[in-house]
A and B are shown apart, each in its own frame.
Chain A
């Protein structure tokens, strides 16, 4: 398999609107958990807890202006800004000669849960059920963020939205890799986004991990191309996904990691950092255990994004990768980053990225 190069990246998270901010916070925490901040200022509804990991100062108009942004929801705004920042970081100029060859694929859980639920709410609480705002209707559709990113940055290549929650970024990487290898596009903006809202905070709190970490938000986007000019750049060596029916997700994840090592031609000891999508780091950690089983006793350093930036849902692995690629150079920055995810049910994925 041809490796794909990461030619640029962006990450917006509660730590700030640059990937370095997230990396710095992770370094400063040294494995401790960030408690989050009071989010009452940006959410009017009741919350399961007062803290969250939100970008309190995020203002899409300050970043992109008023034009075209007035109907963006938070997820769309975060994604569109991240796509622009990633393009800038890559140095790629999009013009009429190449815009049909540049595409976008973004990962999500359900799109903007708040936009969709609020829209449905209007059909229940208005005097007539059809008194909804037609301008907000596209926000209820899960491809809103990717479609708006294409409009904003004028990207006419393949435009896709993949789901899967924490697994979505792995689906997006595979989708993008296929589009490039099949020759449909030259460059893909690949990322994932999740917004903070009361809806998500409650959903996160009622999830299997029981809200051990507060809900978070963020978007991370990577500009990915074929391997022609890979000197000095991070490369995506392998991305594998699979499904474990009948409650066999853990075995399926071990198999995914083993397959990723095989595809990358790597040994377990080449892995220097493990980043899981877990939102619970207390007690047994089935995802970590499943990954380590494939590493044959090798135990790399660990980075759990949710301890740094909260439960960022679909954005979790993408933010983890962005932070890992921007960790300060004093530690062991060589070797492979192993990213893993368990979505819902039997859905699992793994990726190996060379720094």
Chain B
């Protein structure tokens, strides 16, 4: 069976763009949270977000005409370009019909949808510019990647909400394992928007200042944004061109709660972990680190921790949440988690859970790697992603052997 490796990382995040800046920020435990500027937050009780303030698409994109594409598509394309460059992949030497783009998202072109809606509220449907309608389809996130890199293979946007990047990485893994492709750019993208900010606030899932996963007093998420794309190749393809390998994708697991539209389900998540382990051919004791879904809501972190304790026993591996640093980047979240996991393996450290101050007596046994990155030998990482709709997705990454 073909093996699949990670050869390029493309983070466009609130704590840094490009693998060097992002990796340094993870190690430093930097926060990317600030007061929202992309919309007027003054009417909201809570106003913080994880915006990519310095995003300059023209600085990263070579081919994509930015005036025709929405913000989320630009995040996806810029992240893919960064991943291709980090992989030192000569796209002219690649069979472009066997090079695919698979991108996950929660809300697609949410900023475009909001501009369109604002126009129709002001002046009616017939005043909405056709350019906004043209930019709306969520399928364009993957198309932006295909267009930017000139890829002729599948161009698929998966809309499985907040675990969508793990779905994308998993599907990419299958496309490579089954011999359909040589290279896949996989990850996710989303943008900060009013409606998600409002919806999470009204669900009681938003926090005011800082996201503090696994803390006793955690009180919710911070909405975030960005693009996170990984260059994945078959081991043969990577070896033939002498590529640097960050990590190997060992497999993944998906399942569905089929129970509640928004509440996480402990038993179902535990089952998803077991499925992922089985598909990847690993056992719980081999896992060195869990990159948590870790949204920072009381419910998620409790349920996630309980599921982990159920599968791993009383002493699970360290489990930290990078959402403490970048907020909840929605469809990009597990893509950032996968990038952090690959860096943890390659550089030998555990990313911290920042903003952590009080142990939660309900989470006995959970080591959230509080506040400071920790040096560690990391051979196997479990990257968790859960979502509305009960769409659970877990990816296993291992050290390249």
A242 to B109 CA separation, bound complex (whole angstroms)? 22
B24 in the interface (beta carbon within 8 A) = no
Q: Report the interface size for chain B: residues with CB under 8 A from the other chain.
A: 78
A25 in the interface (beta carbon within 8 A) = no
- Given B134, B143, B195, which contacts A119 in the complex, CB threshold below 8 Å? B195
CB pair B159–A143 under 8 Å, yes or no, is yes
Q: Which of A11-19, A156-164, A273-281, A322-330 contacts B (4 or more CB under 8 A)?
A: A156-164
Q: Which of B144-152, B211-219, B240-248, B346-354 contacts A (4 or more CB under 8 A)?
A: B144-152
A148 to B389 CA separation, bound complex (whole angstroms)? 7
Least CB distance from A93 to B in Å reads: 16
A252 to B279 CA separation, bound complex (whole angstroms)? 34
Contacts of A337 in B (CB 8 A): none
CB pair B152–A206 under 8 Å, yes or no, is no
Given the contacts A130-B43, A132-B202, A143-B391, A151 and B260 also touching, CB distance less than 8 Å: yes
Counting chain A CB atoms within 10 Å of each CB, the highest count among B44, B121, B126, B138 belongs to: B138
Q: Which of B82-90, B251-259, B298-306, B319-327 contacts A (4 or more CB under 8 A)?
A: B251-259
CB pair B256–A150 under 8 Å, yes or no, is yes
A117 to B254 CA separation, bound complex (whole angstroms)? 30
A355 in the interface (beta carbon within 8 A) = no
Given the contacts A147-B390, A241-B155, A242-B154, A117 and B203 also touching, CB distance less than 8 Å: no
Known interface pairs A147-B388, A174-B154, A243-B154; 13 further A-B residue pairs with C-beta atoms within 8 A, sorted by A's residue number? A108-B159, A123-B194, A138-B389, A142-B107, A143-B391, A147-B261, A147-B389, A148-B389, A156-B255, A162-B159, A175-B156, A243-B143, A245-B147
0/1 string, B166-202, CB within 8 A of A gives 1? 0100010011001000000000000001111111111
Least CB distance from B106 to A in Å reads: 6
How many residue-residue contacts, CB under 8 A, span A and B? 255
Residues of B that sit less than 8 Å from A by CB = 43-45, 97, 101, 105-109, 113-114, 116-118, 120-121, 124-126, 128, 130, 133-134, 136-140, 143, 146-147, 150-161, 167, 171, 174-175, 178, 193-204, 254-262, 268, 271, 279, 387-391
Contacts of A162 in B (CB 8 A): 156-159
Given the contacts A119-B195, A130-B43, A158 and B139 also touching, CB distance less than 8 Å: no
Contacts of A203 in B (CB 8 A): 133, 136
Least CB distance from A330 to B in Å reads: 38
The 6 A-B pairs with the shortest beta carbon distances in the complex, nearest first, are A147-B389, A159-B256, A142-B159, A137-B199, A243-B155, A134-B202
A278 to B109 CA separation, bound complex (whole angstroms)? 24
A-B residue pairs in contact (CB < 8 Å), sample of 20: A48-B125, A48-B126, A117-B116, A119-B195, A120-B117, A120-B195, A123-B195, A125-B121, A131-B202, A141-B389, A147-B388, A154-B258, A156-B255, A156-B256, A159-B258, A160-B254, A162-B159, A178-B178, A181-B178, A344-B134
Least CB distance from B104 to A in Å reads: 10
Contacts of B260 in A (CB 8 A): 151
- Given B139, B254, B388, B391, which contacts A184 in the complex, CB threshold below 8 Å? B254
Contacts of B154 in A (CB 8 A): 171, 174, 241-243
CB pair B152–A252 under 8 Å, yes or no, is yes
CB pair A146–B389 under 8 Å, yes or no, is yes
A175 to B140 CA separation, bound complex (whole angstroms)? 18
Closest to A181 in B: B178
A7 in the interface (beta carbon within 8 A) = no
Given the contacts A100-B255, A116-B113, A244-B152, A198 and B125 also touching, CB distance less than 8 Å: yes
A116 to B108 CA separation, bound complex (whole angstroms)? 11
- Given A122, A129, A181, which contacts B44 in the complex, CB threshold below 8 Å? A129
- Given A119, A124, A125, A143, which contacts B389 in the complex, CB threshold below 8 Å? A143
Contacts of B139 in A (CB 8 A): 109, 163-165, 167-168, 343-344, 347
CB pair B171–A163 under 8 Å, yes or no, is no
CB pair A143–B155 under 8 Å, yes or no, is no
A99 in the interface (beta carbon within 8 A) = yes
Counting chain A CB atoms within 10 Å of each CB, the highest count among B107, B152, B204, B387 belongs to: B152
- Given B44, B107, B116, which contacts A140 in the complex, CB threshold below 8 Å? B107
Given the contacts A134-B199, A147-B261, A103 and B256 also touching, CB distance less than 8 Å: yes
Given the contacts A117-B116, A132-B202, A252-B152, A142 and B138 also touching, CB distance less than 8 Å: yes
Closest to A119 in B: B195
A137 to B260 CA separation, bound complex (whole angstroms)? 13
Q: Contact residue range for chain A?
A: 35 or more
- Given B125, B150, B167, which contacts A202 in the complex, CB threshold below 8 Å? B125
Least CB distance from B142 to A in Å reads: 8
CB pair A245–B161 under 8 Å, yes or no, is no
CB pair A163–B255 under 8 Å, yes or no, is no
A52 in the interface (beta carbon within 8 A) = no
A207 in the interface (beta carbon within 8 A) = yes
Least CB distance from B244 to A in Å reads: 27
CB pair A161–B160 under 8 Å, yes or no, is yes
Contacts of B109 in A (CB 8 A): 110
Least CB distance from A209 to B in Å reads: 12
CB pair A150–B258 under 8 Å, yes or no, is yes
Least CB distance from B193 to A in Å reads: 8
CB pair A163–B147 under 8 Å, yes or no, is no
A202 to B127 CA separation, bound complex (whole angstroms)? 10
A185 to B254 CA separation, bound complex (whole angstroms)? 10
CB pair B389–A158 under 8 Å, yes or no, is no
A40 in the interface (beta carbon within 8 A) = no
Contacts of B158 in A (CB 8 A): 160-163
Contacts of B137 in A (CB 8 A): 109-110, 163-165, 343-344
CB pair A99–B258 under 8 Å, yes or no, is yes
Counting chain B CB atoms within 10 Å of each CB, the highest count among A132, A244, A246, A252 belongs to: A132
Contacts of B254 in A (CB 8 A): 158-160, 184
CB pair B195–A132 under 8 Å, yes or no, is yes
A103 to B254 CA separation, bound complex (whole angstroms)? 10
Given the contacts A141-B106, A157-B256, A159-B391, A130 and B45 also touching, CB distance less than 8 Å: yes
